[in-house]
Structure 1
Amino acid sequence: MNNPSTVAAQALVRADFDLPLPACISLGGDQPPITCDRLLRLLPGRRVVLSGRWSHEGQEQRVVLKLFFREKDWLKEMDGYQRLCESMITVPACLLGWEAEDKDVHALVYEYIEGQSLYSLWQEASSQEAKTAYMVQAAEVVAKLHDHGLCQTDIHLDNFMVSQNTLYTLDAGTVEQGISPLDKKTSLGNLALMLAQVPAKHDGQIAEICEAYNNTNPCVQFEPEEVKQETVKRRSLRWRHYKKKLFRSCTEFIAEKSSKRFQVWRRDCDSPALQSLLANPDAYIDVGEKLKEGNSATVAKVEVDGKKLVVKRYNLKNWRHRLSRCWRPTRAWCSWINAHLLGFSGIQTPRPIAMIEERNGPLRGRGFFIAEACDSPDMLQVVSKLETGTSRSRLEELSQQVKEVFDALWMSRIVHGDMKATNLLVTEEGISVIDLDAMVESQNPTLSKGLTKDLQRFLKNWQGETQAAFAKALQPFAELLESSTSG
């Protein structure tokens, strides 16, 4: 294996997401180089965060290297770190603070914490009780920060790391000092911002989380309802911020635009094989397994990098159809947004991989939406087998899962627009929703009316005892919609 190339820290001011790793990052002077093998964060021209190995005090250890190309960011990080330490908040040890002689680059080296972020633990938790327990842990740290007059302005669960039952707080650069303790308005907004990191369907646990916060920070006391209302506002702001990222190059996505097309795809899926699919999706559709061939859309299952993907091409039926669509975002564009909205809202849908729009200058043509394939049967297939030889308990289980989907749509203010049974896939993890191009975000009373139509369309799939079983399970949801509309 070739030895990693040596790169001066100053040279990384021009680094992009294609930074070749591993590489030996030289800080200059007597400091031993840091052999970095993983890019953790990149803000071009401002900050690069990498992990690697470093010989410190005669012992090699794993570290996190933060390089800053603006002195004010470096000073802010060091100030935040010092304030966290003074407040007895557990943080990774800072092993080195360094700046170049000409002060064009600055560095901090932290110990690397072997563990999992609180968000990954929350995602893996199999019960609501376990998920709530992780949120309570975070809320207690946030309350302690507020009690000491500190506010982590970019607060999220990935900024907390659990290692050997110890909870570490990361990202000192976003820690700001206010009056100790923080005032109620600032504290409320910051706590709500953290709670807004998880989908709305988990807001039922806010009372327990609020109680933990109140017990840790007696200087500021919240009522669960005011925390819930602020969380709803913050979640909406988070989605609007994230939505903008869906169409530009960033840590998560790669976007390319020309006069002939616009395309965006997941950075962690980028490969020569995926590039081949993006360059000529029609060719892949032609040789793929056809799932649907219609005037409005063609759907095929293809294989890329050993993984099954579904490519959906939104066709233009004739020149009138083309003319009516050319000024509007394609249905592929809408599906790309809506797939991420469902994921943001904690509602299952196949993972979106890429989106393509053909263009002629400002005019839009055909669109392609690419997602991971889901080989699970749809609900119509599953229920039809139940009707020919089975079990009432399974139908009740499916009814409950459908109700959870409708409840999540309501709490996330989403109308699907076409709740056919064939658009609901039955997976081991629950119901996965597909066919998203008609989905919209909505507000009352249009939300109630839209979801009423979704409910009616779903029940229209069934007859007899099956319809009665679904209607019974969904009756509380139907009553909620009715009361909301009449109110």
Structure 2
Amino acid sequence: MTSAFSLRSQGRQPPLPLSLALPQGELHIEQWLRILPRKRLVGRGLLNGKPVLVKLFIAQAAARHWQRESDGLRALRDAGLPTPALHAEGQLSGDLYYLVTEFLQDARTLEQLWQQLPGRNPGQPQAMALLGAALRSLAALHRQGLVQHDLHLGNFLQQGEQLYLIDGDAISAVSPGQPLPAAQAEDNLALLFAQLQPHWDELSELLLIDYLQVNAERALNPDRLQQHIARARQHRLRDWLDKALRDCSAFAVERNWWRFCSVQRSQRDALAPLLQNPDSAFTSHPSLKDGGSSSVTRVEQGGHSLVVKRYNIKGLGHWLRRCLRPSRAWHSWLAAQRLQFLGIATPAPLAMIESRFGPLRRRAWLVTEYRQGQNLLELFGEDGQSLPTTEQQQALLQLMQQLTDAHISHGDFKATNLLWHNGQVWLIDLDAMQTHKTRTSWQPAWQTDRQRLIRNWPENTPLHTWLKTHLPQ
């Protein structure tokens, strides 16, 4: 008999196909859609021959999560809000609980639709329309006194013209039948806006028009909403950086006495040979940089161009200074994750490896995607006589503003560490990047970065003068 214990023991590879005899009929699970090891399994299957979505709760505290999911779906239904119909629920054996809803054929989440948009820049019409649909649905939820505590575009399901609310586990009734108080509505709205990159914040009031068309019962405070958004985004960022260092749905992490490895789970199979022997990249491929504290090379793996950076140990003294600290690969891995989260252009970080002896770090490797582009010294020339085009000026100033808003200093802001590619200026070589908690600590570091970039070109040349005039102080 299938039990919660047996499903927990299968980890990320639960059996397929899987048949369960429910009081409501025979359930056949044909495909797993989401696997949270030892916690919850979500799959597609048939109940008495009818397509259904199945959730199996297998954690030791499964009863509580199952009950929350059931209560949330009923709250949505009782409020008259669109959500997939509940076909079956209950307990099978021990701590194995199930919940079966209708399977919406050809439906896609708003997150899937968002990722498929050709552009997601602020004000882009298709992006605005998609967010408007989510906000109208959220407004209907708030008008009925309900909140969604795990608010993101993946919890809105679009089928044709109908938008459904899903994930009952995160639904709770605050004031059933009565509109939410303004402060709670703002706090919940902030969770949705925090999913967007910071340069969308200036459009939050415009986007609220869609929300207010459905729920204008409470006066919202835009300034307070912005504070909630900033706080929610910081919480999401901390959570993402934590995930980048532990085994989860987004990252596969291997940790033992001899090494630590974190890799994007979607890239694990393609990168497997390189992860097993990262030094292989340096034996038969031309090197981009060799010697000293680091070596860099480009390699083709799984049909993709990658950059592998190895952080070397130069000697016993160097190792003694570094062995108890997180490696520069570790630091750069988290720095790149932070930049990507904030929408700041940098080559995607794919994997990080540390060679260890217990708690002692040795060599380390960082694997990123390769971006074909010109560094700014090549692009503008070394004599400083050429000015950037209008597009280049806008991209450079946008990057500076993003770094300023996030209180980030690069630490080695020379022109060769900035690449021009696909209409953006990309940051590379993040070994010395810092995020400052206060503007006071950030300001001198930013001035150092600013001056380092300007010094790439001779004084009193057109480019030197333009940078000195236009780069934010």
Same fold, TM exceeding 0.5?
Answer: yes
- Once the two structures are TM-superposed, the CA of residue 386 in structure 1 deviates from its matched residue by 12
SS in structure 2 at match of 1:322:
helix
Q: What corresponds to 1:331 in structure 2?
A: 328
| Match for residue 71 of structure 2 among 50, 59, 79 | 79
Q: Structure 2: how far apart are the matches of 1:223 and 1:23?
A: 51
In 1, Cα distance between equivalents of 2:332 and 2:19: 42
Are 1:458 and 2:453 matched, yes or no? Answer: yes
CA positional deviation for 1:356: 0.9
Shift of 1:470: 4.2
- Look up the SS of the partner of 1:278 in the other structure: helix
Deviation at 1:122, TM superposition (A): 3.5
Match of 2:441 in 1: 446
1:308 maps to which of 305, 309, 323: 305
Q: Note the residue ranges of structure 1 that are not aligned, 5 or more in a row.
A: 1-6, 482-487
Q: Which is further off, 339-348 or 29-38?
A: 29-38
Q: Aligned to 2:246, what secondary structure does the other structure show? A: coil
Alpha-carbon spacing, 1:169–1:429, altered in 2? closer, same or farther (3 Å): farther
- Aligned match of 2:136 in 121, 134, 140? 140
Q: Give distance in 2, aligned partners of 1:103 and 1:265.
A: 33
> Whole-Å Cα distance in 2 between the matches of residues 170 and 413 of structure 1?
37
By how many angstroms is 1:160 displaced?
1.5
CA distance in 2, matches of 1:225, 1:411: 17
Give the Cα separation in 1 of the matches to 2:303 and 2:55. Answer: 36
1:385-430, Cα deviation, whole Å (9 max, x unpaired): 9999x9x7x6221111111111122223322222222222222252
CA apart distance, 1:113: 4.9
1:417-432 to 2 correspondence within 5 Å?
A: 417-428=411-422, 430-432=424-426
1:485: which partner in 2?
A: none
The separation in 2 between residues aligned to 1:429 and 1:68, in whole angstroms, is 47
Matched, 1:165 2:161: yes
CA distance in 1 between partners of 2:95 and 2:256 (Å): 39
1: CA distance between counterparts of 2:13 and 2:373?
36
Q: Does 1:398 align with 2:398?
A: no
Distance 1:433 1:27 in 2: 55
2:57 equivalent to 1:68: yes
| C-alpha distance in structure 1 between counterparts of 2:118 and 2:73, whole Å | 30
Task: Describe the SS at the equivalent of 2:131.
Answer: helix
1:254-288 alpha-carbon deviations (Å, 9 max, x no partner): 112222221111111122x6333222212222222
Q: What's the CA shift for 1:224?
A: 1.6
C-alpha displacement of 1:205: 0.8
SS of 1:182's partner is coil
Q: How does 1:290-301 map to 2 (within 5 A)?
A: 290-301=287-298
Matched, 1:46 2:39: yes
Give the letter for the 2:404 counterpart.
Answer: W
Change in 2 beyond 3 A, CA 1:167/1:289: farther
> In structure 2, which of residues 353, 362, 371 is the aligned counterpart of residue 374 of structure 1?
371
CA offset at residue 102 of structure 1?
A: 5.5
Q: CA contact under 8 A between 2:194 and 2:230: conserved in structure 1?
A: yes
CA spacing shift, 1:134–1:339, aligned 2, 3 Å: same
SS state at 1:270 partner: helix
What letter is aligned with 2:193?
A: L
Structure 1 residues 426, 18: CA separation in 2 closer, same or farther (over 3 Å shift)? farther
Kept in 1, the 8 Å contact 2:376–2:415? The answer is yes
Q: Unpaired segments of 5 or more residues in structure 2?
A: none
**1:432-487, Cα deviation, whole Å (9 max, x unpaired):** 22111211111212223322322222222234223344445xx2x52xx4xxxxxx
Does structure 1 residue 253 correspond to structure 2 residue 248? no
Call closer, same or farther: CA 1:369–1:148 in 2, change over 3 Å. Answer: same
Residue equivalent to 1:3 = none
- Alpha-carbon distance in structure 2 between the residues aligned to 1:40 and 1:278: 25
Q: Any conservation in 1 of the 2:32–2:41 contact (CA below 8 Å)? A: no
2:133 counterpart letter in structure 1: Q
1:350 maps to 347
Question: Aligned in 2, Cα 1:39/1:162: closer, same or farther, shift over 3 Å?
Answer: closer
Q: In the superposition, relative to structure 1, how do residues 113 and 429 fare at CA in structure 2: closer, same or farther (>3 Å)?
A: farther
Which deviates more from structure 2 when the two are superposed, residues 190-199 or residues 408-417?
A: 408-417
Q: What RMSD over aligned residues (CA atoms) do the two structures have, in Å?
A: 2.6
Q: 1-side partners of 2:169 and 2:418: how far apart?
A: 44
Which residue in the other structure is 2:319 paired with?
322
Distance in 2 (alpha carbons) for counterparts of 1:277 and 1:417? 29
Using a 3 Å threshold, how does the CA distance of structure 1 residues 461 and 175 change in structure 2: closer, same or farther? same
Work out whether 1:184 is the aligned partner of 2:182: yes
Deviations 1:335-356 (A, max 9, x none): 1101110111011221111111
1:167-198 per-position Cα deviation (integer Å, ceiling 9, x unaligned): 22221111011123323332222111221111
Q: What amino acid is the match of 1:324?
A: R
Shift of 1:357: 1.1
Partner residue, 2:431: 437
Aligned AA (1:15): Q
| Map of 1:274 onto structure 2 | 271
1: distance between equivalents of 2:23 and 2:144? 38
Aligned length: 460
Q: Which amino acid aligns with 2:273?
A: S
**Cα distance in 2, alignment partners of residues 226 and 212 from structure 1:** 19
Give the alignment of 1:116-131 within 5 angstroms. Answer: 116-123=108-115, 124=117, 126=119, 127-129=121-123, 130=125, 131=127
Aligned residue for 2:389, secondary structure, equals helix
Query: Per-residue displacement from partner, 1:47-69 (whole Å, max 9, x unpaired)?
Result: 1112x34265x55x4x4221113
Rounded to whole Å, the distance in 1 between the matches of 2:94 and 2:279 is 54
The change in CA–CA distance for 1:298 and 1:226 in structure 2 (over 3 A counts) is: same
Say if 2:222 is the partner of 1:224: yes
Deviation at 1:100, TM superposition (A): 1.7
Q: Deviations along 1:298-324, whole A, 9 cap, x unmatched?
A: 001122222222110111222221111
Q: Find the aligned partners of 1:385 and 1:270 in 2 and give their Cα distance.
A: 41
Per-residue CA deviations over 1:236-267 (Å, capped at 9, x if unaligned) read 11111221111111111111222222111111
Shift in CA distance, 224/30, structure 1 to aligned 2, threshold 3 Å = closer
User: Normalised by the size of structure 2, how large is the TM-score?
Assistant: 0.89
Is 1:288 the equivalent of 2:288?
no
Residue in 1 that maps onto 2:197: 199
The answer to whether the 8 Å contact 1:146/1:181 transfers is yes
Task: Give the partner amino acid of 1:347.
Answer: I
Alpha-carbon separation, structure 2, partners of 1:30 and 1:160: 28
Q: 1:120 to 1:102 in 2, by over 3 A?
A: closer
- Report the equivalent of 1:96: 88
1:26 correspondence with 2:23: no
Q: Distance in 2 between matches of 1:386 and 1:114?
A: 58
Counterparts of 1:191 and 1:93, CA distance in 2: 26
